[in-house]
Structure 1
């Protein structure tokens, strides 16, 4: 099974994402190591975190009009749907399927982080660095809140 560990290859130099990603990795690792009797609860904790994690990213993309938002948000929806199916499998006693799913999620997460999330982190850093200039240059408009 593919396991997940936090490493510097997952750092994106955008602390709000890096922190939530680190927590995701920790929770997924706990689920992967969980005995069968606690796997449904551990998997549920990964899902609960992921709902907030993806929700925050989706909100950032929408608010800042991130160019690749549609594809990125769709991936989030698909992954969450599969994870929720996994919870049903875990509750039905099919732990092997959930463990396989967790391994595939680990691989997907590393690729997703290093591609789509890396692009989003770059965009978010750019938006943050532009925010004070926008406030100064557009004094008559409503202030832009930095993510």
Structure 2
């Protein structure tokens, strides 16, 4: 399995968003490396970060009038619901769903970052005082 890692392909040149994205990659990599005894904790930390992360992006979009906010926020809600379901299953001893999500999340996140987040970063750069 490929372990998630930060790369220039994820860099958006908007430091607050890059910091959130870098932390998500770090937490995802920790979950991907976790043994069975550590997966629940690592997955819980990832879900907590994603909740905060997506919430911040959603606030930025609302407060700055970002044009793609509805579609972007909908994707956040769908993915977060799936991650929370994986956490609930892991709490019940079913680790396979979280492991599968950990494999798939990295590819989804790259696509999401290069599309929705890239547009948001461009928008935010134009709405940030110099």
TM-score grouping bracket, smaller chain normalisation = over 0.9
Q: Is the aligned partner of 1:87 residue 2:87?
A: yes
Q: Is the aligned partner of 1:34 residue 2:37?
A: no
Superposed CA deviations along residues 24-78 of structure 1, whole A, max 9, x for unmatched, are 1000000010111110110000011111100110000000110000000000011
Q: Please give the secondary structure, in 2, of the residue aligned with 1:12.
A: coil
- 1-side partners of 2:113 and 2:107: how far apart? 10
Superposed CA deviations along residues 108-137 of structure 1, whole A, max 9, x for unmatched, are 101000110000000000111xx46xxxxx
Instruction: Tell me which residue corresponds to 1:25.
Output: 25
Could you tell me which runs of 5 or more consecutive residues in structure 1 were left unpaired when the two chains were aligned. Answer: 133-147
Task: Report runs of 4+ in structure 1 exceeding 4 Å deviation.
Answer: none
CA offset at residue 2 of structure 1?
A: 4.5
- 1-side partners of 2:108 and 2:46: how far apart? 15
Could you tell me which runs of 5 or more consecutive residues in structure 2 were left unpaired when the two chains were aligned. Answer: none
The TM-score with structure 2 as length reference comes to: 0.96
Q: Is the aligned partner of 1:106 residue 2:99?
A: no
- 2-side partners of 1:2 and 1:73: how far apart? 27
- 2-side partners of 1:91 and 1:119: how far apart? 36
CA offset at residue 3 of structure 1?
A: 3.0
Instruction: Tell me which residue corresponds to 1:60.
Output: 60
Q: Which of these two proteins has the greater Rg computed from alpha carbons? A: 1
Q: Please say if residues 2 and 107 of structure 1, whose CA atoms lie closer than 8 Å, have aligned partners that are also in contact.
A: no
Q: Please give the secondary structure, in 2, of the residue aligned with 1:107.
A: helix
Number of aligned positions between the proteins: 130
